[in-house]
Each structure stands twice: as structure tokens, then as C-alpha cells.
Amino acid sequence: MPVSITKVVEEIHSLYPKLTVVSLGETDVIMEYRSKEPEPFMQVAKTGFLCVLLFVGAAFAIMAFHNDISITELFDRFYLQVMGSKKPAVSPLEIAYSIGLAVGILFFYNHFGKKKLTHDPTPIQVEMRKYEKDVDTAIIENGARRGENLDVS
């Protein structure tokens, strides 16, 4: 539920009348009430399912991209041009490409396990912050439009 900062200040003044309150942030905030904490097993199960789903989805996306650009044919032709002979079943070019793809993903996402390579936020963290900000803005604007926001009486 969106709550106006003026309502928050009013509630503080009702408890502490002599207190001076200075608002430095947003004019509206979102208040959420949760009746109980989710079960730890369900949290782990949801996280595990999501990890498997993301892994399979990412693998499928990479395979679909490689299929679209006919990467096996590309490697065959490139190997023939550079080495002058037919490519073996597994070539150094494919091994280097696979290692490079994995290293590139690790550097792009700035994580290897719990270790971060730099202190910069990862692209996912940046996008999640933007998404959270957009969701909060939409909730506040929709609540104000419907007259559901809590404001000074």
C-alpha cells in the first residue's frame, strides 16, 4: 500500500509532538505486511527449481544461437582455411571457443561462485535495481490513481 511521507510525519508527531522531522527522500513509500515467514524448505526448493530452469534456458539459448549461425559449418570452413586439412572431431578451435565463452560469461557477470572479480555491480544487479524502482513507481502511481494511498487526513 502506498503511504505518503506526510502521513508518516503525522504519525511520528502524534507520538513525539516536539520532534522535528525532515524528509530527505521520496514523497511516497510502499508498505507491505507479511503475516508469516515462508518455510525454509520451500525457499530452497524454489531457488533450486529456478536455478535449473535458468541453466536449461541459457543452454538452450546458446544452442539455438549456434544453430542459427551454423557454428559447426563455420568451424569446419575456418579450420580448412587456416590448417589446410579437414577438421578432426574435436579441434583446438572448438576447445578455445568453449573456454572463451565460459570465461567471457564469468567476466561479464562478474562472479565466480561467491567471489566477485570487481566491486562494481553486476549487470543483473543493475537491471534488478531498475526493475524494482519501476515496480515501486508503478505501485505508487496506481495507488494514487485509485485513491488507495494513505495520506494525511
φ, ψ dihedrals at 8, nearest 5°:
-65, -45
pLDDT the model gives residue 153: 65
The pLDDT tens digits for 33-45 are 778 887 889 999 9
Which DSSP category does 39 fall into? P
β-partners of residue 125 are: none
63 versus 122: the higher-pLDDT residue is: 63
What confidence tens digit (pLDDT) does each residue in 103-139 have?
A: 888 888 777 777 777 888 888 889 999 999 999 888 8
Percent of the chain whose pLDDT exceeds 70: 99
Is residue 146 scored above 90 in pLDDT? no
Q: How confident is the model at residue 31 (pLDDT cuts 50, 70, 90)?
A: confident
Q: What are the helix (H) ranges across 110-153?
A: 123-146
- Whole-angstrom CA distances from 149 to 4, 6, 24, 123, 139 are 7, 12, 20, 33, 10
